[in-house]
Amino acid sequence: MKVQILARKLITPSSPTPLNLQKLKISCLDQNLPSNLYTSCIFYYPASGEEDCVNTAEKSKQLQKSLSEILTLYYPLGGRYVKGSVFIDCNDNGAEYLEAKASGCLSEFLKEGELETELRNHLAPPLFQPEESPLLIVQFNMFECGGLAIGISVTHKIVDGFTLFTFVDAWATACRIGIDKVHSPSFQLSSFCPPKDMSSINNLFSPRMGKRDNTIVEKRIVFNGADLSSLKAAAHVNVNNSGSLKYEPSRVQVVTAFIWRALIKASQARHGCLCPSYLTHIVDMRRRTALPIPGNLCGNFGTMSIAQFIPGDDSTLQLHDLVNRIKEGMSSCYMAEMNP
């Protein structure tokens, strides 16, 4: 399968950003994120009939129209980051919109098993962009069968996971039923977490960031509903009576613990002994902070939780024990954030 870019254009907001909103100050949480780092997601839409091939052009036009409309509410994404500063210039220069043609059939690509990583990487704009790039880049991919894949890459400088999917949901609402049904977001994170002088602090990210390590192996693991139920049940089984779960673990907790345990065992097989292991999560703090923030607050508002497995420190490789460690790591980071 191959992906060919057919056209690219800038989509500007359907109405100009007011003068009082044209200079957005970023927060101290945004400051240390590199301006060339983007976060992305891909949405797949298999063909449902012959009409899909006919209506592809109309679907693209509707996406462009609604994107122009939603940029009036998510106006920073139509602007540009001012290099070396603590500001986004909300100048309405626009988001970039690409149209691309993908060979083959989407249903074949989506079969369970190994996704074609190289092709998937071409369905969304790269995660590293020149600093002068648009802050939002959309790629509309058309498969020969009529299926579609929409790749979205957006700057991590002012966008975390919550912000990304809030934006996607708002765009989908505008496209489906109209911009007047979309709730306005808030970009006032700097009011709660103002920028600081960080000239004496090294950037959190390596200067090698953007250079891919070829030793990385990517795998897709599919857990269906029955698998998740089995994992949750297994997490409640206490083989050595060393403790038990007094709560219902989340899907994220049990799946993460399951994979973490496999990695610890793989390390044990390689080194001949159990080794210390640390697991990190980025945790959304919007509902876990004492700050009086609005629920629709956009920006990077998260913190890192750390779970640790130390051999000999009453640690076991039972699933429930690793789940508890993950939950404790998250709980302690909540308290640290609310009670500095």
Q: Round to whole Å and give the CA distance between 39 and 20.
A: 28
Provide the pLDDT confidence category of residue 211 given band limits of 50, 70 and 90: low
Total tally of structural domains belonging to the chain: 2
Residue 279 lies in a domain: yes
Q: What's the mean pLDDT in 164-168?
A: 97
- Mark whether 46 and 92 lie in a shared domain: yes
Instruction: Provide the token pair at 215.
Output: 């030793």
Q: What's the mean pLDDT in 292-319?
A: 88
The pLDDT score that the predictor gives to residue 132 is 87
- Mark whether 272 and 156 lie in a shared domain: no
- Mark whether 251 and 146 lie in a shared domain: no
- Mark whether 253 and 180 lie in a shared domain: no
The pLDDT score that the predictor gives to residue 340 is 40
- Other Cβ atoms less than 10 A from the Cβ of 163: the count is 26
- Mark whether 182 and 133 lie in a shared domain: yes
DSSP states of 264-295 as a string? Answer: HHHHHHHHSS---EEEEEEEE-TTS-SS---T
Provide the whole-model pTM.
0.85
Window from 13-17, 219-223, 236-240, 325-329 with minimum mean pLDDT? 236-240
Q: Round to whole Å and give the CA distance between 136 and 155.
A: 7
Asked if pLDDT for residue 297 goes beyond 60, the answer is yes
**In this structure, are residues 38 and 132 in contact, taking their beta carbons and an 8 Å threshold?**
no
- Mark whether 56 and 156 lie in a shared domain: yes
pLDDT tens digits, one per residue of 101-141: 998 888 888 875 555 666 778 899 988 888 889 999 999 99
- Mark whether 168 and 272 lie in a shared domain: no
- Mark whether 173 and 304 lie in a shared domain: no
How many helices and strands in the chain, by DSSP H and E?
A: 9, 10
Provide the pLDDT confidence category of residue 242 given band limits of 50, 70 and 90: low
Strands (E), the chain: 3-11, 23-25, 38-45, 80-81, 87-89, 95-102, 136-143, 148-155, 277-284, 302-309
- Mark whether 184 and 229 lie in a shared domain: no
- Mark whether 257 and 182 lie in a shared domain: no
Contacts of 18 (CB under 8 A, 6+ apart): none
Which CATH number goes with the domain that contains 109? 3.30.559.10
The pLDDT score that the predictor gives to residue 18 is 96
Q: Round to whole Å and give the CA distance between 247 and 228.
A: 16
- Mark whether 170 and 285 lie in a shared domain: no
> What is the CA angle 316-318-320, rounded to 5?
110
Q: Round to whole Å and give the CA distance between 54 and 50.
A: 7
pLDDT tens digits, one per residue of 12-62: 999 999 999 999 999 999 998 998 999 999 999 988 765 555 589 999 999
- Mark whether 35 and 178 lie in a shared domain: yes
What is the average pLDDT score of the chain? 87
Contacts of 200 (CB under 8 A, 6+ apart): none
Residue 276 lies in a domain: yes
Q: Which long-range contacts (CB under 8 A, 24 or more apart) does 250-253 make?
A: 253/323, 253/326, 253/327
Domain of 13 in residue numbering reads as 3-192
Residue 53 lies in a domain: yes
The pLDDT score that the predictor gives to residue 207 is 46
The pLDDT score that the predictor gives to residue 336 is 47
The pLDDT score that the predictor gives to residue 47 is 84
Q: Round to whole Å and give the CA distance between 9 and 60.
A: 12
